[in-house]
């Protein structure tokens, strides 16, 4: 199978002896007009790819910081469709892979076929849908077939080995390895068995393994990133952008 754009970008980092860094931002936090500037800033800062969150009224994986950012975006009238339209308008100015993180209901409301076609048109690199279980993913996978858009799976710390084998076997783009039991947000401590967990995931996964959830300081980026092929940082990035702390964003990216 041809290597997907998202996997290729991460493997390029690994090939240079570096770790991938994927920041998460909430589309439309402080208004949708900020999206382009934030994407260009992150691209210039040297991130590997960018995960773009879509505001949703009933998030199940998001902690307080991202929930509040989503509420601000919803207050600005931001929807999945308006974000896709904004990304279409931005066009070729973004040269790194973009990933949309949304829940399933907005995709169903949009229409799976139309959504996938619009994502293909803007050159989207990947999709993350936390409330779409492996057993129900066939309909979306069939629509994505041949699009070049990766459906990135999540693996939790509590996933038994048999399920890890099933999830990684279908892995596209990268494996999103959740580093905590619970929702996103700042954490001071992580499980003692993370090293063994990542060692196992990397041994069975055909695509890179990235760590996410709870990673919020440069020290944690370095420590957790050392176990995986890279990291995803969400709440700390969202908070820094909201406070217009661009130096704080750069410190995380450059960790």
Find the catalytic residue in 3, 37, 62, 86.
Answer: 62
Output the six-digit token pair for 69.
Answer: 């950012």
Dihedral sign, Cα of residue 51, residue 203, residue 183, residue 108: positive
62 is annotated as an active-site residue = yes
| Selected catalytic residue, list 51, 118, 172, 229 | 51
Buried b (16+ CB within 10 A) or exposed e, 207-232: bbbbbbbbbbbbebbebbbebbbbbb
User: 199-205 long-range CB contacts below 8 Å, 24 or more apart?
Assistant: 199/227, 200/161, 200/164, 201/155, 201/164, 201/168, 201/175, 201/177, 202/228, 202/229, 204/164, 204/165, 204/168, 205/168, 205/171, 205/175
Query: Which residues are catalytic, by number?
Result: 51, 62
């Amino acid at each position: 199978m041809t290597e997907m754009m998202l996997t290729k970008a991460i493997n390029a980092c690994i090939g240079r002896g570096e770790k991938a860094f994927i920041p998460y931002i909430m589309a439309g936090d402080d208004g949708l007009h900020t999206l382009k500037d934030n994407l260009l800033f992150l691209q210039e800062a040297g991130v590997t790819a960018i995960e773009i969150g879509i505001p949703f009224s009933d998030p199940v994986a998001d902690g307080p910081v991202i929930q509040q950012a989503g509420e601000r975006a919803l207050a600005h009238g931001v929807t999945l469709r308006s974000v896709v339209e904004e990304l279409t308008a931005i066009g070729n100015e973004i040269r790194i892979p973009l990933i949309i993180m949304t829940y399933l209901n907005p995709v169903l409301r949009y229409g799976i076929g139309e959504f996938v076609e619009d994502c293909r048109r803007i050159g989207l690199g990947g999709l993350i849908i936390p409330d779409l279980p492996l057993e129900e993913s066939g309909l979306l996978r069939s629509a994505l077939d041949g699009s070049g858009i990766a459906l990135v799976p999540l693996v939790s710390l509590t996933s038994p080995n048999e399920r890890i084998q099933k999830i990684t076997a279908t892995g596209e783009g990268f494996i999103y390895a959740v580093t905590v039991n619970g929702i996103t947000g700042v954490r001071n401590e992580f499980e003692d068995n993370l090293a063994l967990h990542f060692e196992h995931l990397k041994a069975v996964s055909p695509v890179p393994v990235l760590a996410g959830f709870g990673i919020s300081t440069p020290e944690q980026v370095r420590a957790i990133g050392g176990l995986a092929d890279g990291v995803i940082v969400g709440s700390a990035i969202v908070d820094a952008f909201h406070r217009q702390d661009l130096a704080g964003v750069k410190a995380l990216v450059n960790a």
